[in-house]
């Protein structure tokens, strides 16, 4: 079997702005971190070595760390040893690229079989690495500027034109584009003129070993929550795009409509400020005060998987009120724990949530509509819980990884074909 007709031996995975070693839920760490860590680990289990390149944000980080057997994380020195806003990172792409290329140069020619870039910043680096190393480039956007700008939260900052241009360049150069859903694939084709033959749809997954159904009573006891409470939770980065404020407004509306006993209502907010949310890190706390529900809202920091599973199990419903999501990993994790999800009827959430079966989709962000949906989800929790568990079982990181490897092999075929045509 030739180099091009088998899975790659070694993959260079690029993640400039966030490391899979970071705790999701704050800063720039989110679903992409989970995606990279889970798929890289499973590729290694299948015999594919993975090296993840990410920017070093501290001088205390080792040059190389092991994420899992067969998965190395390389911390590349590019700019100051501190977190940088994504708007500042384009200025560090030259330094980052130099570090990636130097690592390859220290090994035998052909050390990496393929480059997989995540997010457009990494795609810019991958473009050059592809041409320098003579290997295929697979790119996963995770989010797209034109899609985000079409669904901005009120007062949020639009993505800059420089990002749109950079994304277009990566789309034009990549040998394979991996989309999370058919809708994202359609966005790449219709809004970025991507070649349909180069676009693959690979749904993200969920760790079905970690996120499992369990006792709601035990979960509440472990978290110090009232056993008989009505609990709604938001999990994720606190920023306008994710719209956690919608849950607070909905909770106030539930009380105004007398649809829930105030003495039993608890609203959990699990996560940390991120993106433009860093400009007003206490905005949600201040909103809770203005709405008169500050005594009902509990804020928790980002949590690792086992603790996060307890939050999912403890809640009557998980709210995912994002203005846009390429998929929505929180929704799938919650459903895997048997908890219904109430989400905005947008983007990948239409795939992550089976409306009326595993949860409810809400068109828009009206507090009245959200209060109604949350009340319905709590009233129908037992029925929706069964649908949630069944829906989540259709997603797994093993399936995602197998599909990704298939995309890698197809990218290699495309790359070889196009190089042969150029040579002739």
* Residue pLDDT, tens place only, 74-102: 999 999 999 898 889 999 999 999 999 99
Closest CA to 37 of 135, 126, 118: 118
Residue 407 confidence class, pLDDT cut points 50, 70, 90: very high
pLDDT at residue 1, as a whole number: 36
Q: Kindly state the average pLDDT of the residues 156-180.
A: 95
Q: 106: annotated binding-site residue?
A: no
pLDDT at residue 424, as a whole number: 62
pLDDT at residue 278, as a whole number: 65
Q: 17: annotated binding-site residue?
A: yes
Q: 382: annotated binding-site residue?
A: no
Residue 37 confidence class, pLDDT cut points 50, 70, 90: very high
pLDDT at residue 36, as a whole number: 97
Q: Which residues belong to CATH 3.40.50.2000 in the chain?
A: 10-205+397-423, 216-393
Q: 242: annotated binding-site residue?
A: yes
> Strands 10-14 and 359-362: what pairing?
unpaired
Q: 183: annotated binding-site residue?
A: no
pLDDT at residue 27, as a whole number: 73
Identify the burial level of 214 via C-beta atoms within 10 angstroms of its C-beta, where 0-12 means exposed, 13-18 middle and 19 or more buried.
middle
Q: How far apart are CA 167 and CA 145, in angstroms?
A: 8
Q: 417: annotated binding-site residue?
A: no
Q: 75: annotated binding-site residue?
A: no
Q: How far apart are CA 70 and CA 33, in angstroms?
A: 17
Residue 162 confidence class, pLDDT cut points 50, 70, 90: very high
pLDDT at 29 over 80: no
Q: Kindly state the average pLDDT of the residues 31-36.
A: 93
Closest CA to 369 of 203, 267, 279, 246: 246
pLDDT at residue 73, as a whole number: 98
Q: 23: annotated binding-site residue?
A: yes
Class level of CATH domain 10-205+397-423: alpha beta
Q: 33: annotated binding-site residue?
A: yes
Q: 31: annotated binding-site residue?
A: yes
Q: How far apart are CA 424 and CA 422, in angstroms?
A: 6
Contacts for 133 with CB less than 8 Å, ≥ 6 apart: 104, 110, 112, 115
Pick the CATH number of 216-393 from 3.40.190.10, 3.40.50.920, 3.20.20.450, 3.40.50.2000: 3.40.50.2000
pLDDT at residue 422, as a whole number: 73
Q: Kindly state the average pLDDT of the residues 347-373.
A: 97
Separate counts of helices (H) and strands (E) for the chain: 15, 14
pLDDT at 249 over 70: yes
pLDDT at residue 419, as a whole number: 79
Q: 81: annotated binding-site residue?
A: no
Q: Kindly state the average pLDDT of the residues 282-301.
A: 95
Q: How far apart are CA 162 and CA 89, in angstroms?
A: 12
In the sheet that 10-14 helps form, which strands lie side by side, from edge to edge?
A: 64-68, 71-76, 49-55, 10-14, 114-118, 137-140, 176-179, 199-201
pLDDT at residue 423, as a whole number: 67
Q: 29: annotated binding-site residue?
A: yes
Q: Kindly state the average pLDDT of the residues 371-386.
A: 95
Lowest mean pLDDT among 218-227, 240-249, 271-280, 293-302: 271-280
Residue 2 confidence class, pLDDT cut points 50, 70, 90: very low
Phi, psi of 143 (to 5 degrees): -140, 155
Q: 24: annotated binding-site residue?
A: yes
pLDDT at residue 102, as a whole number: 96
| 3-state SS, residue 85 | coil
Q: Kindly state the average pLDDT of the residues 180-200.
A: 97
Q: 163: annotated binding-site residue?
A: yes
> Strands 297-300 and 137-140: what pairing?
unpaired
Q: 119: annotated binding-site residue?
A: yes
| Chain-centre distance for alpha carbon 259 | 33
Q: 201: annotated binding-site residue?
A: no
pLDDT at 275 over 70: no
| 3-state SS, residue 221 | helix
- For 202-221, how does the pLDDT look when each residue is reduced to its tens digit (9 = 90+)? 999 999 999 999 999 999 99
Q: 250: annotated binding-site residue?
A: no
State the distance between the two ends of the chain, measured CA to CA, in whole angstroms.
24
Q: How far apart are CA 382 and CA 65, in angstroms?
A: 44
Instruction: Give the mean pLDDT of the chain.
Output: 94
- Among the residues of 106-181, which ranges form H helices? 119-133, 145-149, 161-173
In order of 69, 135, 175, 209, the CA distances from 418 in angstroms are 35, 12, 9, 41
């Amino acid at each position: 079997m030739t180099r091009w007709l088998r899975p790659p031996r070694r993959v260079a995975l690029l993640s400039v702005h966030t490391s899979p070693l970071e705790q999701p839920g704050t800063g720039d760490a989110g679903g992409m971190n989970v995606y990279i860590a889970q798929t890289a680990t499973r590729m290694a289990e299948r015999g594919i070595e993975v090296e993840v390149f990410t920017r070093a944000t501290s001088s205390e980080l080792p040059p190389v760390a092991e994420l899992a057997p067969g998965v190395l994380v390389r911390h590349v020195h590019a700019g100051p040893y501190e977190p940088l806003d994504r708007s500042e990172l384009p200025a560090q792409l030259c330094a980052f690229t130099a570090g990636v290329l130097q690592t390859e140069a220290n090994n035998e020619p052909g050390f990496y079989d393929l480059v997989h870039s995540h997010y457009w910043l990494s795609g810019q680096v991958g473009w050059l690495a592809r041409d320098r190393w003579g290997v295929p480039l697979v790119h996963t956007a995770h989010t797209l500027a034109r899609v985000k700008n079409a669904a901005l939260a009120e007062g949020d900052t639009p993505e800059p034109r420089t990002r749109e241009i950079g994304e277009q360049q990566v789309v034009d150069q990549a040998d394979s584009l991996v989309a999370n859903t058919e809708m994202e694939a359609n966005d790449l084709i219709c809004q970025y003129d991507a070649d349909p033959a180069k676009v693959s749809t690979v749904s993200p997954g969920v760790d079905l070993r970690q996120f499992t159904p369990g006792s709601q009573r035990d979960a509440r006891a472990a978290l110090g929550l009232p056993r008989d409470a009505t609990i709604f939770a938001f999990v994720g980065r606190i920023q306008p795009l994710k719209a956690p404020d919608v849950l607070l407004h909905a909770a106030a509306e539930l009380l105004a409509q007398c649809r829930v006993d105030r003495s039993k209502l608890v609203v959990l907010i699990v996560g940390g400020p991120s993106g433009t949310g860093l400009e007003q890190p206490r905005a949600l706390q201040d909103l809770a005060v203005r709405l008169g529900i500050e005594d009902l809202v509990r804020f928790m920091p980002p949590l690792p998987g086992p603790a996060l599973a307890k939050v999912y199990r403890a809640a009557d419903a998980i709210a995912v009120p994002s203005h846009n999501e390429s998929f929505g990993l929180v929704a799938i994790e919650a459903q895997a724990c048997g908890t219904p999800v109430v989400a905005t009827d947008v983007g990948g959430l239409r795939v992550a949530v089976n409306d009326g079966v595993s949860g409810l989709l809400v068109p828009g962000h009206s507090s009245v509509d959200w209060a109604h949906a949350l009340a319905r989800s709590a009233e129908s929790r037992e029925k929706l819980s069964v649908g949630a568990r069944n829906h989540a079982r259709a997603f797994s990181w093993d399936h995602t990884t197998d599909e990704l490897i298939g995309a890698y092999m197809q990218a290699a075929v495309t790359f070889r074909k196009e190089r042969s045509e150029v040579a002739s």
